[in-house]
Amino acid sequence: MTTFIELLLGGVSLGSVYALIALGFVVIFRATEVVNFAHASLLLAGGYVTAVLSDDIGFWPALLTGIASGALVGAAIEFLVLRRYRGSDHSVLAIVTIGVDILLVTDLTRRIGTDVLAVRDPWGDQLLTIGSVSLAQTRVAALLVAGLLITAFLLAFRYTSWGVAMRAAAENAGTAALMGIRLGRVSLGAWAVAGGLAAVAALFLTVFPTPGLERATSLAALKAFPAAILGGLDSTTGALAGGLIVGVTESLATGYQSDLTFLGRGLGDLAPYLVMIAILLVRPAGLLGTKETARV
Amino acid sequence: MSEPAEHTAVRRRPYDGSRTQQRRFRSPAVPRDPRVCLWAVGTVLLLALPFYLDRFWLQAGLFAMAAAIGAIGINLLTGATGQLSMGHAFFLAVGAYGYCAFAGDGGDGLLGLGLPTWLAVPAAVATAGAAGGLFSPIAGRLRGAYLGIATLALIFIGQHVLFNAEDLTGGFNGRDVPPLSVFGLTFDDAEVTVAAVPFGAAEKLWYAGLVLLLCCGLFARGVLRDRPGRALNAIRDHRIAAGVMGVPVARYRAAVFVLSSMYAGLAGVLLALVFQRTVPDYFGMALSLEYLAMIVIGGLGSVSGAVLGAALVALLPQLLTRYSEALPLVSDPGTGGIAPGEASRYLYGAAVVAVVLFLPGGLASLTARRSSSTPGEDR
Amino acid sequence: MNHSTRPGRGRTRATATALAVLLALTAAAGCSSKAADGKDGKQGAGGVKTGDGVTDKTIALGALTDLTGVYATLGKSVTQAQRLYVKQVNAEGGICGRTLKLTVRDHGYDPQKAVAAYTELEPDVLGYVQFIGSPFVASLRQRIDRRDKALVVPQAWSAELLGSPYIRVVGSTYDIETINAIDFLMKEHGLKKGDKLGHVYFEGDYGENALAGSRHMANKSGLELVEQKIKPTDNDMTAQVAALKKAGVEAVVLSAGPRQAASLVGVAAARRLSVPVIGNNSAFSPQLLGTQAGPALEKAYYVASPALPIGDDSEGPSALASAYAKAYPKDTLDNGVVAGWTAASTYGEALKRACKAKDLTREGVSKALRTMDDFDAGFGKQDFTDPEAPSSGQSVILRPDKKAKGGSKAVRGPEESAAARAYEREPR
């Protein structure tokens, strides 16, 4: 039982990190209807800055700089690349983000080289132990931070003018523009937010229990894709739900792999995708996504 | 590799009837169309290359041909019908391993049905098509981003099966590919001397690759130019309007998914024959992304675009590696600086971004523009 | 081909021209440089028989490495060590009166690029001092054995690669290394019959070959094996540790990468799973000692390695360490340097012997290698007479140590356990 609770908690905390990445992904999709395959590079960019600076200027300033640079990279991608393509087919835009991703990831991995960049975070390898169950403090922090950020975003979507503008743009871009909403600013903001969120997620992916940032860190974005989809691409709460489902599935599939050997070993990576396929078969727009109703 | 390319280039849009008409009236007045000459020279060159090039270049060319076949397939799906697929590598794997399973004789302890190899090729292609058909409940329901990410699942499933179903795939070490044998001619390394040049596997396969690519290109062009092509484009441009106009949208979407999987399967078979051994690492996500890059760079929705893009993406890393000593900025591996592998990734990442920005029709639109302007200059 | 818009005459003419040109070209192909010309077995300078890759002045060697992919850390160290070896040999006048020329190709762990790079270099080199990625070596095996017959030293210690006279693994393979590692745990850490032993391993040749070793050992010694398969992209070992703890393991074997080692040992320490962890030689890199897992690694982690560590006090390692640090002051000293150097010196010795036998052809070199039954590049003895067996059954047990050069020092010298000696591989 203890093992189960530990795996579950581990999954939930990991899932909340995935949810952060998925949230950024969803925010971009809502504002611009672009599927951002460059999310991996946003993650790596923010994480890289944090990790490199944390030795020199201390953890908190480094983290802030990391978040800022993640946001900056996101905004730059929007401003320099995607803005030029407005009006293109969305699947072409998705492929363009793949191109951007290849460029940025190649450059960042070249910089990281063969190093493992450790982040000097305040939590270290401490555990939080309640009864017989223990969880790494970094993971508790991840859970809290992700929870806070996601709540903040849900509120912001509902109550701030930025949120209203973004929802309006997602609803109907043309009408929103006519109502005086600056679509450019909305999409720029969305990309910046996504970059910042990715940087926060990158932090929690590179502290204990992982040794640090290295070239493969960006692959975590691959977990956020099914998270965003199975929650529903246009739903922010869906991103949270999807992230948690992916995290818990992965954690349980790994923890109980010796009981699941008939499916082959090493199921942890695959399980989230299987869950995603199963959900999509029943609900093609994801758990909380809006079903597309087309006007002809 | 480029003959179907130059050919389709002019009338890339099948419904663009006016230009076709115009050309038909003009052509008898032009005694020697430069395109025919170009085409003839191209053919001769392609046929003669195995006599001159060494194995490295032939192999690179074969990789490009296989890539071109696969790219034509994904261009039918993503380019012409607007369905984003990130699972193309999975179907390549089905083709490659399917061929091994059908043609293998079980001598290496792995599943092998021992079919004659010439029969194993269509069987493998059909299996890839069937795999595409199996996925159609999902492919038929999902659109755009949802489909793109759902097909990503295929990559993960594929990798898992390739590593774990050891009796079928040989696990991490892969399995040997039985050489293709058609009408008593075996495409293996046993050397046959033709005009004093020893013909090994690469030389022989070169011709098989050319024939396959030509057939695939012509077939796809037929599909795209005719009724189905127009239907597919209509689905891409406005799904609902297409449905209203009487296009059976769901059936077409499922069919094009199967067709594209079959193309991928054939590309997989050809690759397996060139590699002489299939290994699971190859069929990962990077491969799927490469295929998407190919069709964007080459030009969405056209056969020539797929072929051009495939040639560029497949040959670029090889060129850069081979001539890394002579290029500025690119350094000899292991001495610091930009490695050739990185340089080629920079280049093709940038190419994807730049092509969509500055050349929305891809490389194919360049040749189309040029060849449609040449006759004008003749006048 | 579709000439529906073209008058038939033009097409016929074009076809005829094409055919004529083709015939002419085919006839001319006889003069193509590809036309067969038995270039093997020429007599070169000094009465030495030479073949591919060898001229009177140079011996060309290839290295197929990974500098931009998953094994970049290993590839960089191995390649630089080999460049250093070549530089030193050339400074001393080369081998057989010829200078060595090393051509490096980076395949980024991509099968297509690896096969392409192999094919590119094949006509121009005598052999390959380095080939990272055993699936790729396996995929080229037929070609190497039947056609090219060039001596290849793979930088992968998988038993799958044994059995070819041309593909020669330097050092003990992963299965033997794992047996020696478990032997160490049983002798020094009280692991005994009936105990549970965890094994966390990578999917792929490396992990699964190591698994063959631990399964064998579990069978022979009555241990119960708890297997956990992971992927190279898994960096967080929390779930694995939870599973191992639940199973109640007494020790853990790790056949994965350095990052997994850091995570596993760090998490185990934090969760009070205080059991010894031993990794294969690829599961450690000195960079880890700078991370937060550093102290835990120094406390509970061991590494089994086929060779003495670079930080060892004996003559071979210390000479290499200082030469390498001088040539590449910015780069970390790790055991990849040892692997690269050992492979290059083995190759160099084979070339010297082939020269003495007046046969510097590919066949001559691999024959010369088979005469080396007691070769020591300074890091442990190697016996290359039997292509079916790894060149050594010995493993050194290392312990991470921040103060040592290269981040580790030996706690048990080169030793072949009785279990490893008695080990017989299942027939392939």
**pLDDT tens digits for range C243-301:** 898 889 999 999 998 889 999 998 898 888 889 999 998 888 888 888 888 888 999 89
User: Do B197 and C35 meet the contact criterion of CB atoms below 8 Å apart?
Assistant: yes
Alpha-carbon distance A93 to A103, whole Å? 15
pLDDT at residue number B224: 87
Q: Which residue in the set B292, B300, B346 is minimally distant from A106, CB to CB?
A: B346
Q: Does C288 touch chain A (CB under 8 A)?
A: yes
Dist. CA A83–CA A188, nearest whole Å: 9
Q: Is residue C351 part of a domain?
A: yes
The per-residue pLDDT for C14 is: 59
C333 interfacial to chain A (CB closer than 8 Å)? no
ipTM of the complex, rounded to two decimals: 0.88
Would C25 be classed as within a structural domain?
Answer: no
b/e code C399-426 from CB counts within 10 Å (16+ = b)? bbbeebbbbbbbebebebbebbeebebe
Residue C4 predicted with pLDDT over 90: no
Q: Reduced to 3 states, what is the DSSP secondary structure of residue B202?
A: helix
| Residue C205 near residue C160 (C-beta atoms within 8 A) | yes
Examine residue A37 and state whether it is found in any structural domain, yes or no: yes
Please report whether residue A93 resides in a domain. Answer: yes
Question: Which of A34, A91, A218 should one mutate to test binding to chain B, selecting the residue with the greatest count of B CBs within 10 A?
Answer: A91
Nearest CA in chain B to C161: B173
Which residues from chain C sit within 8 angstroms of residue B215, using beta carbons? none
At C31, the pLDDT band (50, 70, 90 cuts) reads: low
> Within an 8 Å CB–CB cutoff, is residue C246 touching chain A?
yes
Distance from CA of B288 to the nearest CA of A (A): 11
| Domain that includes residue C224, residue range | 174-305+397-422
Q: Is residue A114 part of a domain?
A: yes
- Give the confidence band of A185 by pLDDT, cuts at 50, 70, 90: confident
pLDDT band for position A223 (50/70/90)? confident
Tens-digit pLDDT profile for residues B194-247 = 776 777 788 889 999 999 999 999 999 888 888 888 878 888 877 778 878 777
Scanning A2-61 for CB atoms below 8 A from B yields 29, 35
Helices (H), C172-291: 174-188, 205-221, 238-247, 258-270
C291 touches chain B (CB under 8 A): no
Domains observed in chain B? 3-378 (1.10.3470)
C230 has a chain A CB within 8 A of its CB: yes
What's CA C421's distance to the chain center, in Å? 22
Domain count, chain A: 1
Q: To 5 degrees, how large is the angle CA B96–CA B97–CA B101?
A: 125
Chain B: nearest CA to A205, how far in angstroms?
Answer: 21
Using CB atoms, pick whichever of A110, A127, A219 lies closest to residue C233: A219
Q: What is the mean pLDDT of residues C81-102?
A: 93
Answer whether residue C37 is part of any domain.
Answer: no
Residue of chain A with shortest Cα separation from C75: A114
Q: How far is C402 from chain B (nearest CA, A)?
A: 27
Q: What is the pLDDT of residues B364-378, one digit of tens each?
A: 888 765 544 433 333
- Collect all residues of chain C within an 8 Å Cβ-Cβ radius of residue A212: 291
Copy the structure tokens of residue B21: 């008409």
Share of chain B above pLDDT 70, in %: 84
Judge: B196–C35 Cβ closer than 8 Å, yes or no.
yes
C273 and C126 in a common domain: no
Q: How far apart are CA C148 and CA B331, in angstroms?
A: 29
Contact list, B341 vs chain C (CB under 8 Å): 67-68, 106-108, 110, 113
CA–CA separation, B249 vs B8, rounded Å?
Answer: 26
Same domain, C371 and C401: no
Query: C183-200 pLDDT, tens per residue?
Result: 999 999 989 999 999 999
Residue of A95, A225, A267 to mutate, interface with B, max B Cβ within 10 Å? A95
Same domain, C248 and C387: no
Smallest CA–CA distance, residue C352 to chain A, in Å, is 35
Region A188-208 average pLDDT: 92
Interface probe with C: pick from B55, B279, B303, most Cβ of C within 10 Å: B279
Q: Does a structural domain hold residue C19?
A: no
Of residues C216 and B189, more confidently modeled: C216
- Chain B residues whose CB is inside 8 A of the A233 CB are 145-146
**Pairwise CA distance, residues C225 & B145, whole Å:** 43
- As for how many domains chain C has, the answer is 2
- A90 Cα to chain C: minimum distance (Å): 30
Domain assignment of residue C233, yes or no: yes
Q: Which residues of C touch A124 (CB under 8 A)?
A: 292
Residues of chain C neighbouring B173 (CB-CB closer than 8 A): 134-135, 138, 160, 205
Instruction: Classify residue C337: in a domain, yes or no.
Output: yes
Q: Could you say which DSSP state residue C202 is in?
A: E
Contact C198, C226 (CB under 8 A): yes
Could you report the per-residue pLDDT of B108-150, keeping only the tens digit for each?
A: 778 888 889 999 999 999 999 999 999 888 877 887 778 888 8
Which is nearest to B74 in space by CA: B159, B154, B163? B154
Which residues of chain C does B56 touch, with a Cβ-Cβ cutoff of 8 Å?
116, 119-120, 122-123
Rounded Cα distance between B339 and C117, Å, is 14
Residue C309 identity:
P
- The whole-angstrom distance between C203's CA and the closest CA on chain A is 8
Mind giving me the DSSP string for C341-379? HHHHHHHHHHHHHHHHTTEESHHHHHHHHHT-SSEESSS
pLDDT at C99: 94
Same domain, C272 and C403: yes
C281 shares a domain with C417: yes
Q: Does C107 touch chain B (CB under 8 A)?
A: yes
pLDDT in tens, C151-176: 999 988 888 889 899 999 998 999 99
C155/C208 same-domain check: no
- Token output for C335: 């055991």
The residue in chain A having the minimum alpha-carbon distance to the alpha carbon of residue C76 is A114
Residues C418, C420: Cα–Cα separation, whole Å: 5
Instruction: Assess if residue C21 is contained within a domain.
Output: no
User: Pairing mode, if any, of strands C375-376 and C381-382?
Assistant: antiparallel
C301 and C407 inside one domain:
yes
pLDDT tens column, C33-43: 665 544 455 66
The pLDDT assigned to B32 comes to 61
Task: For residue B105, count CB atoms less than 10 angstroms from its CB and return exposed for 0-12, middle for 13-18, buried for 19 or more.
Answer: exposed
Predicted confidence band of residue C139 (pLDDT cuts 50, 70, 90): confident
Helices (H) and strands (E) in chain B, counts: 17, 6
Task: List own/partner pairs for B116-122 with CB under 8 A and 24 or more apart.
Answer: B116/B181, B117/B178, B117/B179, B117/B180, B117/B181, B117/B182, B118/B180, B118/B181, B118/B182, B118/B183, B120/B178, B121/B180, B121/B266, B121/B269
The pLDDT of residue B10 is above 50: no
pLDDT reported for residue A296: 44
Residue A227 lies in a domain: no
Give the end-to-end CA distance of chain A in Å, rounded to a whole number. 55
Note whether B145 contacts A280, CB cutoff 8 Å.
Answer: no
Per-residue pLDDT of A90-147, as tens digits, reads 778 888 898 999 999 989 988 887 778 888 888 877 888 887 777 888 889 999 999 8
Helix or strand holding residue B41 (H, E): helix B34-48
Question: Which residues contact residue B358 at a Cβ distance below 8 angstroms, ignoring those fewer than 6 apart?
Answer: none
* Residue pLDDT, tens place only, B314-355: 898 888 878 877 666 666 655 556 777 788 888 888 988 888
For residue C99, give the CATH number of its domain.
3.40.50.2300
Per-residue pLDDT, B182 = 85
Q: Which residues of B touch A83 (CB under 8 A)?
A: none
Question: Mean pLDDT over residues B176-181, rounded?
Answer: 89
What mean pLDDT value characterizes chain B? 81
**Is the CB of C248 inside 8 Å of chain A's CB atoms?**
no
Instruction: State the pLDDT at residue B3.
Output: 40
State the residue range of the domain holding A90. Answer: 2-217
Q: Indicate the residue of C32, C105, C203 with minimum beta-carbon distance to B172.
A: C203
Query: Is pLDDT larger for residue B180 or for residue C71?
Result: B180
For the residues A265-294, what does the mean pLDDT come to? 81
A126 touching C, CB under 8 A? yes
A contact test, residue of C235, C285, C289, C332 with most A CBs within 10 A: C235
| Arithmetic mean of pLDDT, A183-190 | 87
- Is residue C24, in this structure, part of any structural domain at all? no
Q: Tell me which residue in C226, C245, C292 faces A124 most closely, judged by beta carbons.
A: C292
Query: Is residue A234 one of the residues assigned to a domain?
Result: no
Mean pLDDT of C395-407: 89
Cβ contacts (< 8 Å) between B346 and chain A: which residues? 103, 106-107
> What's the pLDDT score for residue B7?
44
Q: Which of B7, B189, B286 sits opposite C2 (nearest CB)?
A: B7
More confident residue, A63 or A161: A63
Task: Kindly determine whether residue A211 and residue C267, on different chains, have CB atoms separated by under 8 Å.
Answer: no
Q: What is the pTM of this model?
A: 0.86
- Which one has a higher pLDDT value, C176 or A269? C176
Distance CA C136, CA C128 (A): 13
Q: C19: number of CA atoms within 13 Å, CB side?
A: 6
Residues of A in contact with B353 (CB under 8 A): 81, 96, 99-100, 103
Q: Is the pLDDT of residue A192 over 90?
A: yes
Mutation pick from B77, B149, B352 vs chain A, by most beta carbons of A within 10 Å, is B149
The residues in C 70-99 lying below 8 A from B, measured between CB atoms, are: 75-76, 79-80, 83
